[in-house]
Structure 1
């Protein structure tokens, strides 16, 4: 089966890097679905603009993921490609971080790996094909003050990716992560100018990533051409992760 016949599901896929990934997959010929939670007008506008079916559920809720994936597969067919992009950040210095801020980030950013992959992995194994792409972060390796919860979750994603890749490689399933650097998205726009200036000084490319550049990496790892690539973390950070 060619990529153009494959069904790809992108969580958190109506804005930011998720939207760029969903658009790129659509342009590459995949049948794409995107999820959101509370996206409101943004989600509706994305669906109308792109023609990509949009579904709403909480990726931190196992039962919601089970029911949501079932709806997608009923509408579009079995999920061949899962892009785990949904995430939140609740930044605070650790000595001021609340337990709620810790739990929210771990549940959404890391817990969703289990909640979503568990819904598709058996079908992928039965069909002998699958692509799972998990969105990590450059800060999983570098660390970032004020983000102990986020960095812990993203580092966990990379360990999860390697372990699941080992389990599934002989079943025709690849599992990879992407570690984006700072990209030109609404989330990054909230970073104070002085902090962003310091970050960019340490990015060899000297600029933010364009969301489309992350989308192209997702397409590569989702396609037939990446059949021998599994258990990796692709660094898409303009060199920021080197130092």
Structure 2
């Protein structure tokens, strides 16, 4: 990790899906750099372990289902009550069909709807909650979680690729709307990152992923967290509507 500064001192950060993996690593990064951080996830037990090293007065956590619009609205309202308006939103939550993922001709609409709901709709809903105040204040950062699957188009992940490409389109459109108000909107698109979902893969699959990644290794959640922190910082004030691939060169644009 690069030298830690206090560049987010006084900032309020909201992160969805932050009990573990990339979300937790990003929460730790913002806390380490001075921010007050609000997190939401369905898995409450992991919050203390993930964020316990940081001052509790700069943390707020809510256990809840991010696919529930009312829960997201509560999360937003309670974040504002705890720390003030959201300066930085990281729409991290999302997933594939996982064990229900399959070739498209065998897939089921129920799974498509779940994947779109948890990845794309949660991103749109949370962005809709924070955008008006950011626009009015003339400042803010929104970072959305896409995936290199959106660009690679991995077989067996048609619904996931569609959702994550939808996030890229949403990011570009919202960035255009909010740019005149000094609010930036960007996306990150990770490839192979060592998370709990990734740890369930077989050694053979892991080796195949490494072989198709020019960098030759699987990244850590902290590698993504550093990129999110950059996009949230003043160093990236002239970067908007972009998708930053974090995949060791598997896909290049």
On whether the aligned pair clears a TM of 0.5, the verdict is yes
Pairing partner for 1:235 from 242, 245, 249 = 245
Q: C-alpha deviations, 1:25-54, integer Å up to 9, x for none?
A: 1112211111102x0322343343444321
Q: Which residue of 2 aligns with 1:188?
A: 198
Count of residue correspondences: 241
SS of the aligned residue for 1:235 comes to strand
Q: Which residue of 1 aligns with 2:15?
A: 10
RMSD: 1.5
Q: What is the alpha-carbon distance in structure 2 between the residues aligned to residue 44 and residue 30 of structure 1?
A: 17
Q: Which residue of 2 aligns with 1:73?
A: 80
User: Which blocks of at least 5 consecutive residues in structure 2 are unaligned?
Assistant: 1-6
Alpha-carbon offset, residue 60 of structure 1: 1.8
Q: Which residue of 1 aligns with 2:3?
A: none
Q: What is the alpha-carbon distance in structure 1 between the residues aligned to residue 172 and residue 72 of structure 2?
A: 22
Q: What is the alpha-carbon distance in structure 1 between the residues aligned to residue 243 and residue 68 of structure 2?
A: 26
Q: What is the alpha-carbon distance in structure 2 between the residues aligned to residue 193 and residue 94 of structure 1?
A: 25
User: Which blocks of at least 5 consecutive residues in structure 1 are unaligned?
Assistant: none
2:180 matches 1:170? yes
**TM-score (norm: length of structure 2):** 0.91
Alpha-carbon offset, residue 100 of structure 1: 1.6
2:33 matches 1:46? no
After TM superposition, where is structure 1 displaced by more than 4 Å over at least 4 residues in a row? none
**TM-score (norm: length of structure 1):** 0.94
